[in-house]
């Protein structure tokens, strides 16, 4: 059983599981809130203070091999992302119909093993009395190609088979393109029912477009634990 399951005896002496605290009290808090209280919450910030990460690998179109962030979930571990937010400062247009976009997605079968050129991130614990760190590998600002690996299959570019959220912005102007400014592009992912991302898999984030952006930021929050902490039957 996981830490938040207790056994309840029923007729016939057959035990069944119910959610509760280690002391046996019924759990009234939201499951994710309870896991945060138990030290299983993580948070990471992408982009440094006022310096954003230029998206799209080369700063323009989305590059599947060069995400702005990646969270690699190893086998035997599960995470539930409950909030992902990104803000992109778009640049001046060079032509009509230029666009920028943000994408949060999952390679549900392949795990990033640490290749590519990137910035290593060390997530904070959402219970701040506990130390930093994660059972997942976290990287940002990829500038050289990374890959993901499925069991028994050679490493390849990520397969984005699960899109969690996307935002697209297209510019239209009357006059000179260089006089048109695209406003900040935001995307907030706060699902009512957070997915169970069971390793091996990878959570990825991208931003970019047909015109180079000035930079972007992201904030990720999730709970993590052993598979048995989430699936208790």
Q: Which two tokens stand for residue 11?
A: 């007729």
- Prior bond of 200 cis (ω within 30°): yes
Please report where in the chains the tokens 């996981």 appear, as a residue.
Answer: 2
Q: How far apart are CA 124 and CA 58, in angstroms?
A: 29
The CA R_g of the chain, rounded to the nearest whole Å, is 20
Cβ(123)–Cβ(221) under 8 Å?
no
C-alpha closest to that of 69 among 125, 112, 109: 112
Residue with tokens 């995470």: 79
pLDDT 10s digits, 98-155: 788 899 999 999 999 999 999 999 999 999 999 999 999 999 999 899 999 999 899 9
Spacing of C-alpha 154 from chain mean position = 24
**Whole-angstrom Cα distance, residue 203 to residue 132?**
20
Residue from 105, 47, 69, 85 nearest 221 by CA: 85
Q: What is the pLDDT along the chain (233 residues), one digit of tens a residue?
A: 444 444 333 434 554 445 555 555 555 557 899 999 999 999 999 987 778 888 665 456 788 999 999 999 999 999 999 999 999 887 666 677 778 889 999 999 999 999 999 999 999 999 999 999 999 999 999 989 999 999 989 999 999 999 999 998 877 666 665 555 556 789 999 999 999 999 999 999 999 887 766 789 999 999 999 999 887 54
């Amino acid at each position: 059983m996981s830490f938040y399951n207790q056994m309840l005896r029923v007729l016939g002496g057959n035990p069944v599981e119910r959610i509760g605290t280690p002391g046996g009290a019924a759990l009234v808090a939201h499951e994710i809130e309870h896991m945060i209280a138990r030290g299983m919450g993580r948070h990471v910030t992408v982009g440094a203070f006022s310096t954003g990460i230029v998206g799209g690998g080369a700063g323009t179109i989305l590059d599947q091999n060069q995400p702005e962030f990646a969270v690699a979930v190893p086998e035997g571990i599960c995470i539930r992302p409950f909030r992902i937010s990104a803000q992109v400062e778009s640049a001046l247009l060079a032509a009509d119909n230029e666009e920028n976009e943000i994408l949060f997605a999952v390679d549900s079968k392949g795990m990033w093993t640490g290749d590519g050129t990137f910035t290593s991130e060390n997530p904070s614990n959402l219970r701040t009395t506990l130390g930093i760190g994660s059972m997942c590998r976290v990287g940002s600002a990829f500038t050289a190609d990374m890959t993901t690996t499925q069991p028994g299959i050679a490493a390849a570019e990520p397969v984005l088979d699960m899109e969690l959220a996307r935002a697209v912005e297209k510019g239209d102007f009357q006059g000179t393109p260089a006089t048109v400014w695209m406003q900040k592009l935001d995307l907030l992912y706060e699902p009512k029912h957070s997915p169970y991302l069971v390793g091996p898999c990878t959570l990825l984030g991208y931003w970019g477009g047909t015109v180079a952006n000035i930079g972007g930021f992201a904030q990720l929050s999730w709970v993590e634990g052993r598979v048995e902490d989430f699936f208790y039957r």
